[in-house]
Structure 1
Amino acid sequence: MYHHVKKLMYTVRVDEPDPRFGNMLLEQFGGANGELAAAMQYSIQGLNCEDAARKDLLMDIGTEELSHLEIVGTLARMHLKPMKSVREDAEADPLIAIAGGGGVNLFNSMGNPWTADYLKITGELDVDLRSNIAAEARAKIVYERLIDFCRDPGTKDALQFLMTREITHMKAFSLALESMGKPPLMIGRIAPTPKLVNQYFNESTGEGQLGEVDARGPWNEGDNWEMVEAKAFMGLEGDGAAPESSGVAAVTSDTKDAESLREMLVQDLHYLLDAEKQLVKALPKMVEAANTQQLKDLLEFHLKETNMQVDRLTEALKALGGSATGKASKGMQGLVEEGEEIIKKGAKNPEPFADLALIAVAQRVEHYEIAAYTSARNMAIQLHEHEIAQLLTLSLGEEMKSDYLLNQVSQPLTSLAGMPPAVR
């Protein structure tokens, strides 16, 4: 049975009502990735579940999502309140102001009604758990975007709480799925066709107008993978030759220009190699200086990525006939020295400020590397060095992801830094 306790799971505070933001909040009230959809999805999955332990999990989290719905609804109602009496605010959304009296209803931010089509319920427990993990991931992203657009500190704190619980639920669902002991690709009861299941169809073939190349990775090579080239791109005479492209190809103007560009690429790779080697030495000091475990874990993981990036750059230089040594990167040297200075000062600062300063330095490093990898990759594409372009693309993706994660770690620390010392 359900029992309502007249107390919010998280006490909310709104200092400055913002009707337009209140409208945005409705996405998490009656939207596809909102709290009602999550509560209904997990609860109904729980009703269908014959596994007592995992049924308990689904009902626990489904009930918590109803508590989250109450928090979001209360926040939205507080932000929408001016619509009840102020004409200008009512104009932000006439549907809410006129039809709903300035309150909440089961609509998303665009005024579309909530629908059971939002729910993903198959009756197969492992499939449902995977859907739940994806649902929590989508909800986490929605909360991030709401936080980015929010101007009210009290509302931000409540949204941070809700966003964090999405990760908690994702962790619980992931471990429940893992505990079932089913291989990831064992879905349902009927086995797939043996050979066909390992064939990867290369249906996006050739070099695109923007320099895109056929990429290879663990998703299409190694293990039992068989690459099958798309027949649509085979020669019309059946000789296996690809037809001529009618698109505009990215080519260098002459041999001399190509050689100059190749020399520039080799030089940039040398600088990048030295920069990454400097970072390999600097990151352990940053890990030791970090106070929060999340930041330590992120920096330690990026250290492993940086070692792989050194290997990729070494491989790329060998492929271009260059030596596997770096040329002194003065830009990275300056950033490392700045980081060392921050670490010394950080020992005297309270935790959130020290870690925020460390993150700021780390993000400057990431942006330096993102720019360098982007430039080098573009040159490799222009020179038709597709394998080297792919190596650089992998490293570029890791740098961009690291910058994104550093930004996420900084958000709660920034909120903490803004609180009075006694509250921290």
Structure 2
Amino acid sequence: MFFHVQRMINEIVSDEPDPAAANALQEGLGGQFGEMRTMMQYLFQAMNFRGPDGKPYRDLLQGIGTEEISHVELIGTTISRLLDGSPQYQGKPTDPLDKPGAGGATPLSIALDEGNIHHYLVGAQGALPVDAAGNPWSGSYVYNSGNLPLDLLYNLMLESTGRLQKCRIYEMTANATARSTIAYLIVRDQAHENAYAKALESLGVKWNTLLPIPKTDAASFPEVKRLLDLGLQSKQYTFDLTGQSEAGKIFQGMSPSNDGTTLDASEQAPEGVPSTIAPERREEFAPGLDPELLELIQATAEMEMADVDALFGPVPPRSS
């Protein structure tokens, strides 16, 4: 089973809208080496895992696959934030993205020459399950051979390629919203490279004559350096509510990144940051609710919370 905590796994920093950066990020979401691919690949490998004696490896795949679900949520929400700016956007008076909708102008004219027009035509200024060229995500991307060394080696290559692409996307934009998410994913990709590298080492595979790629100094990116200084590249979460994960039998010892850190699999999950819902976009008719429907939604929410309180007691607010 999976449980959803209504918190984002990492903070998305506020900045100006940037539809072009949003489209570049689509490669990191729905591309061949994007977060949707890693999520599905690791979960399918975990679901199809055979051999009870190999449980630590299954648990490692399951924990990373579960984290990838949160990465899909993070990068998809970031794309939505980067698109949310036309019209009624209250930004810099000189920002060209303020022009659509101003003074009676066509509200969504920005869609004609910025980024992916489908973000506005069919996505209501939101993320889509496509790559940066607009190609739909495909289940054929998923690699699950059933052979553990092959799957782990392929996963290490996948994380290396994903990190390479995110380093390129980072260099394409100075937008703080985009970079906050890209930097986090670069560091977590490194953590997952460490996990699969350690798993391969435990099987006697000498992976490190070529992989991981890129052999970059990610600390040259300031947002990445801050996360590396926190040791985030050397943590792996179990997302296991019952404490039965054995992934820590693999994710331990000195980091394969040779950065002097020790691998740590003791945490269930990161604390995360508060999750917020984006404002309505009237020009997209999203969500398209009139006052009567809003009253029904509020009444339904109050009834659901009353049922939760009756079963479990009042839910205390979580500190940020």
SS in 2 for 1:82: coil
User: Which residue type is aligned with residue 55 of structure 1?
Assistant: R
Query: 2:16 and 2:23 mapped to 1: Cα distance?
Result: 15
User: Which residue type is aligned with residue 89 of structure 1?
Assistant: I
Give 1:180 deviation, angstroms. 2.0
Residues 82 and 89, structure 1, Cα contact 8 Å, conserved in 2: no
- Cα deviation digits, residues 2-40 of structure 1 (max 9, x gap): 111110000112311101111111111111111110010
* Residue in structure 1 matched with residue 219 of structure 2 by the alignment: 409
Structure 1 unaligned residues grouped into runs of 5+:
185-217, 220-400, 417-424
Residues 23 and 80, structure 1, Cα contact 8 Å, conserved in 2: no
User: Which residue type is aligned with residue 72 of structure 2?
Assistant: L
1:87 aligns to 2:127 (yes or no): no
Residues 12 and 181, structure 2, Cα contact 8 Å, conserved in 1: yes
Residues 19 and 83, structure 1, Cα contact 8 Å, conserved in 2: no
Matches within 5 A, 1:192-203: none
Residues 28 and 35, structure 2, Cα contact 8 Å, conserved in 1: yes
* Residue in structure 1 matched with residue 204 of structure 2 by the alignment: 181
* Residue in structure 1 matched with residue 185 of structure 2 by the alignment: 162
Percent identity between the two aligned chains: 30
User: Which residue type is aligned with residue 71 of structure 2?
Assistant: H
* Residue in structure 1 matched with residue 61 of structure 2 by the alignment: 58
* Residue in structure 2 matched with residue 70 of structure 1 by the alignment: 73
Matches within 5 A, 1:174-323: 174-181=197-204
1:152 aligns to 2:175 (yes or no): yes
User: Which residue type is aligned with residue 70 of structure 1?
Assistant: E
Query: 1:405 and 1:122 mapped to 2: Cα distance?
Result: 30
Matches within 5 A, 1:5-84: 5-50=5-50, 51-82=54-85
Query: 1:38 and 1:115 mapped to 2: Cα distance?
Result: 12
Residues 14 and 152, structure 1, Cα contact 8 Å, conserved in 2: no
* Residue in structure 1 matched with residue 135 of structure 2 by the alignment: 112
User: Which residue type is aligned with residue 71 of structure 1?
Assistant: L
Residues 30 and 108, structure 1, Cα contact 8 Å, conserved in 2: yes
- Cα deviation digits, residues 191-246 of structure 1 (max 9, x gap): xxxxxxxxxxxxxxxxxxxxxxxxxxx99xxxxxxxxxxxxxxxxxxxxxxxxxxx
Give 1:162 deviation, angstroms. 0.9
Matches within 5 A, 1:318-333: none
Query: 1:41 and 1:176 mapped to 2: Cα distance?
Result: 17
Which structure has more RCO (C-alpha within 8 Å, separation ≥ 6)? Answer: 2
Give 1:174 deviation, angstroms. 0.9
Call closer, same or farther: CA 1:46–1:101 in 2, change over 3 Å: same
Query: 1:57 and 1:414 mapped to 2: Cα distance?
Result: 24
TM-score scaled to structure 2, two decimals? Answer: 0.58
Q: Give the ranges of 4+ consecutive aligned residues of structure 1 lying more than 6 Å apart after TM superposition.
A: none
SS in 2 for 1:17: coil
TM-score scaled to structure 1, two decimals? Answer: 0.44
Give 1:48 deviation, angstroms. 1.4
Query: 1:27 and 1:183 mapped to 2: Cα distance?
Result: 30
- Cα deviation digits, residues 128-176 of structure 1 (max 9, x gap): 0000000000110111011111222243132111101101101111111
Query: 1:182 and 1:73 mapped to 2: Cα distance?
Result: 35
Give 1:96 deviation, angstroms. 1.9
Residues 36 and 72, structure 2, Cα contact 8 Å, conserved in 1: yes
Residues 83 and 97, structure 1, Cα contact 8 Å, conserved in 2: no
Residues 30 and 107, structure 1, Cα contact 8 Å, conserved in 2: yes
Give 1:105 deviation, angstroms. 1.8
* Residue in structure 2 matched with residue 383 of structure 1 by the alignment: none
Query: 1:81 and 1:122 mapped to 2: Cα distance?
Result: 41
Query: 1:160 and 1:414 mapped to 2: Cα distance?
Result: 5
Query: 1:20 and 1:183 mapped to 2: Cα distance?
Result: 40
Query: 1:107 and 1:137 mapped to 2: Cα distance?
Result: 21
* Residue in structure 2 matched with residue 125 of structure 1 by the alignment: 148
- Cα deviation digits, residues 74-129 of structure 1 (max 9, x gap): 10001112357643321122222112222112111111101011111111010000
Q: How many aligned positions are there?
A: 200
Query: 2:180 and 2:85 mapped to 1: Cα distance?
Result: 22
Give 1:415 deviation, angstroms. 6.8
Query: 1:159 and 1:183 mapped to 2: Cα distance?
Result: 29
* Residue in structure 2 matched with residue 211 of structure 1 by the alignment: none
Relative to its length, the structure with more helix (as a share) is 1
Query: 2:179 and 2:10 mapped to 1: Cα distance?
Result: 12
Call closer, same or farther: CA 1:22–1:183 in 2, change over 3 Å: closer
Give 1:181 deviation, angstroms. 3.2
Give 1:49 deviation, angstroms. 1.4
Residues 21 and 178, structure 2, Cα contact 8 Å, conserved in 1: no
Residues 180 and 223, structure 2, Cα contact 8 Å, conserved in 1: no
